[in-house]
Amino acid sequence: MEREPMSPDDRPESSAAAAAAQQKPQPLEWRFAQVFGERAAGEDVQEVDMISAIEFDKSGNHLATGDRGGRVVLFERTDISDNASRRELERQEYPVARHPEFRYKTEFQSHEPEFDYLKSLEIEEKINKIKWCQTANNALFLLSTNDKTIKYWKVQEKKVKRVSVMNLDTSQSSDNGSTSSPGTSSCRALLPNGGCSEMMYSPNNNISFPPGGCASLRLPVVVTGQEFNHVARCRRVYAHAHDYHINSISNNSDGETFISADDLRINLWNLEISNQSFNIVDVKPANMEDLTEVITCAEFHPTHCNTLAYSSSKGTIRLIDLRQSALCDNHAKLFEEHEAPGSRSFFTEIIASVSDIKFARDGRHILSRDYMTLKLWDLNMDSGPVATFQVHEYLRPKLCDLYENDSIFDKFECCLSGDGLRVATGSYSNLFRVFGGSPESTEASTLEASRNPMRRQVVNPARPARTLTSLTRAVRRGGENTSIDANGNSYDLSTKLLHLAWHPTENSIACAAANSLYMYYA
């Protein structure tokens, strides 16, 4: 029996091509979800209210922000239920576009302004970094740091306790259920703790007691109500270990240790020991005049507790193995991109400085951000980045002006999606860019931190139309108005989006524009 000839659709080549086309990630359509602390038109923003750190926890159900005033604000997810029914769980098998919703949970003052009298140095209260730790007993744990001091916080719900069964008359009851007795009727007002605003035994009060005394005198009783209050308590303070400003902290996957990094040193801490740390990286030369580079960021590997990476102001990333030696002077791998001959200028080293690095969730890739670009590195290939994304190439002709007003030293953060398929970072004019990380992807979106994130996508009609895909991995040509950004809009260096975070399991981004926290989903 003869077999029928295969149709073109049945051929293995066609099937493979169709499968590849299906696997190619499609560009995401981003929508506005929420905003906290939205600024009204013309409203001045106080310096202490500006957000300086953003971090999701591992589950994505909690979000923490820190500001320049030393405060930490916590938000919790409200559109999911821990006690979902079987039918609801079965519905989740189908892709349903959910609107992620967060609500304010609590806030606390993490750091206060200090003064170092030995060095005559004022220490700001600004929160530089926040990192979530492992949860335990329904309590949240996190690390927060300013320039010099790291603090370990525990946040948990506690039932509110009230004083009840007071020796007071029921005719003058207060809101908490306490009552006043005839002998204290001359008091102007009851205090929340059951006291009075005037002395009970003032000479002006004609108080008479019965001959046998008060037969109904009772001791107050503390009653635990059903209301809950979030209480933040500082468990430990890790101080006096850094001579220079702390630029990053990172938790280890073992759940017991973390690192803190400043310009010249990286220290290893145990969460349970606050008076001792181990110096594992020291790049300080014997003579400070020989200093050529500083540490800009450090982060632990997400799954290998012995591996960490740190970046430098020269644009390099070093991978070190804690098993090699106690002081990791020698790196296991060095990631750097060699510059093209003849392309070096006065600004080359400044814009090459890495401001942030992030490990992908699978631990295979590292994302780095310098002033002009995002770079994606493969740990198995140290010859160069596997992908480079131009963030705001239109600023290259303006580097001299950016140097004069110090904008060239702005430190932008970066983040990766949980699946590692996309990367994101901020820019000026409160814009942020989202790129496709896979080799076949041409996704390159520009969004604005506002209620209408896509409005900056409209190209100025007076200018020729330009597709965003041409801006992904290619340098833009000169000859155009350099005060115009990638979408034909004038850019504003005073409004910059430095801090953003990607939800660990969903396509949701939280970003900070001055004192406002914007959230988007796709």
For residue 465, the model assigns a pLDDT of: 30
pLDDT digits (tens, 9 = 90+) for 87-144: 554 555 555 556 789 999 999 999 999 998 888 889 999 999 999 999 988 899 999 9
pLDDT band at 280 (very low <50, low <70, confident <90, very high): very high
Expressed as residue numbers, the domain containing 296 is 31-82+98-153+238-455+489-521
Stretch 341-370: mean pLDDT: 93
Residue type, position 252, single letter: N
Domain CATH code at residue 408: 2.130.10.10
d(CA 29, CA 478): 30
HSE, side-chain direction, 13 A CA sphere, residue 258: 25
pLDDT digits (tens, 9 = 90+) for 429-473: 999 999 998 888 889 999 999 999 887 553 333 322 333 333 333
Q: Cα-flanking dihedrals φ and ψ of residue 317, to 5°?
A: -125, 125
137 φψ region: left (φ > 0), alpha (ψ -120 to 50), beta (else): left
Q: Cα-flanking dihedrals φ and ψ of residue 254, to 5°?
A: -75, -10
d(CA 109, CA 64): 13
Q: Three-class SS of residue 312?
A: strand
Q: Tell me how many domains the chain contains.
A: 1
Lowest model confidence (mean pLDDT) among 83-97, 304-318, 363-377, 480-494: 83-97
Burial of 387 (0-12, 13-18, 19+ CB in 10 A): buried
Percent of the chain with pLDDT over 90: 60
Would 16 be classed as within a structural domain? no
Lowest model confidence (mean pLDDT) among 193-197, 249-253, 412-416: 193-197
Would 476 be classed as within a structural domain? no
**Arithmetic mean of pLDDT over the chain:** 82
Secondary structure letter of residue 305 according to DSSP: T
pLDDT digits (tens, 9 = 90+) for 320-329: 999 998 888 8
Question: Rounded to two decimals, what is the model's pTM?
Answer: 0.78
Would 369 be classed as within a structural domain? yes
Structure tokens at 45: 């923003």
Would 92 be classed as within a structural domain? no
Would 471 be classed as within a structural domain? no
Would 268 be classed as within a structural domain? yes
Would 394 be classed as within a structural domain? yes
For residue 469, the model assigns a pLDDT of: 30
HSE, side-chain direction, 13 A CA sphere, residue 450: 16
Would 183 be classed as within a structural domain? no
